[in-house]
Amino acid sequence: MPVIDMVLIALAGVGAGAINAIVGSGTLITFPTLVALGYPPVTSTMSNAVGLVAGGMSGTWGYRRELRGQWHRLRWQIPASLVGALSGAWLLLHLPEKVFTQVVPGLLVAALALVVVGPRIQAWARRRAEQSGRSADHVSAARMVALVAGTFAVGVYGGYFTAAQGILLIAVMGALLPEDMQRMNAAKNVLSLIVNIVAAVAYTLVAFDRISWAAAGLIAAGSLIGGFFGAHYGRRLSQNALRAVIVVVGLIGLWRLMAV
């Protein structure tokens, strides 16, 4: 591999790790980079998923404080992400890639719209809870079911393509949970990490020879560093600033994805 390619892949890994910790669409940096350097799309997807596990770990560790008090929900969301990721990984190995990539732009637009209107949805939910005499932080059984179903669907998508799954998770949780952005971002990091681990293990077991281990290693090294710095600086952002970053990065990612 040429040195310039190694540098570009490693730098893309740094950027992806940082953005994944803050927003969750770092794949939209590394995936187009690998494709632009001549790697086949499926090889790029698999190598990217393997490499970004390291960044997911450092980003999750950086947000560990915000995870407190969320495990009563995560104990349901984690299995949903796990099963969804297994399903998505199976789809990648059996279906043409364009089956999902054709719907990615629409999913991203919908997710970004939910991120923008999330505060209004939460304000409406709080008003209804208060009017019914319940705590504003109460999550009904119906909303919990919707949350688990949404987490599963994003897990399927993430196991197949991984790009922008963090934005989709934030959108789902933002529409259903009475949580602030930083705490949802922490939960998103855990769930995205699980999806990436499942996908990486599945790809390694089933398609070991289709993974570029050199590229995966460079992405891992870069994303490990990027995840640490992304968590460090991302948790300093205000809710509105974090929401703005998610929307801006999502729009850039949408443009990059459609250009691939």
Mean pLDDT of 15-21: 86
Above pLDDT 90, what percent of the chain? 16
Encoded tokens for 69: 């008090």
Q: Is the pLDDT of residue 137 over 60?
A: no
Per-residue pLDDT at 45: 80
Per-residue pLDDT at 81: 93
- Per the document, the length of the chain is 260
Give 22 or 132, the one with higher predicted confidence. 22
Q: What is the pLDDT of residues 198-257, one digit of tens each?
A: 888 888 888 888 899 999 999 999 999 999 888 888 777 776 776 676 677 667 766 766
Per-residue pLDDT at 243: 65
Contact 158, 192 (CB under 8 A): yes
Contact 89, 160 (CB under 8 A): yes
Q: List all residues 6 or more positions away from 165 whose beta carbon is below 8 Å from its beta carbon.
A: 24, 27, 154, 155, 157, 158, 192, 195
Sign of CA dihedral 213, 219, 222, 223: negative
**Between the CA of residue 89 and those of 73, 156, 163, what are the distances in Å?**
24, 8, 13
Range of the domain at 76: 3-259
Mean pLDDT of 4-22: 88
Mean pLDDT of 140-155: 88
Give 232 or 135, the one with higher predicted confidence. 232
Q: What is the pLDDT of residues 51-95, one digit of tens each?
A: 999 988 998 998 888 888 888 888 899 999 999 999 888 887 777
State the total domains in the chain: 1
Mean pLDDT of 99-127: 65
Pick from 170, 171, 70, 153: nearest CA to 113: 171
* CA dist., res. 47 & res. 51, Å (int): 6
Per-residue pLDDT at 222: 94
Q: List all residues 6 or more positions away from 155 whose beta carbon is below 8 Å from its beta carbon.
A: 80, 81, 82, 83, 84, 85, 87, 88, 165, 191, 194, 195
**Between the CA of residue 63 and those of 67, 164, 181, 231, what are the distances in Å?**
7, 19, 12, 6
What average pLDDT does the structure give for the chain? Answer: 80
Per-residue pLDDT at 22: 81
Give the least confident one: 10-14, 52-56, 142-146, 210-214: 142-146
Give 85 or 135, the one with higher predicted confidence. 85
Per-residue pLDDT at 7: 92
Per-residue pLDDT at 160: 77
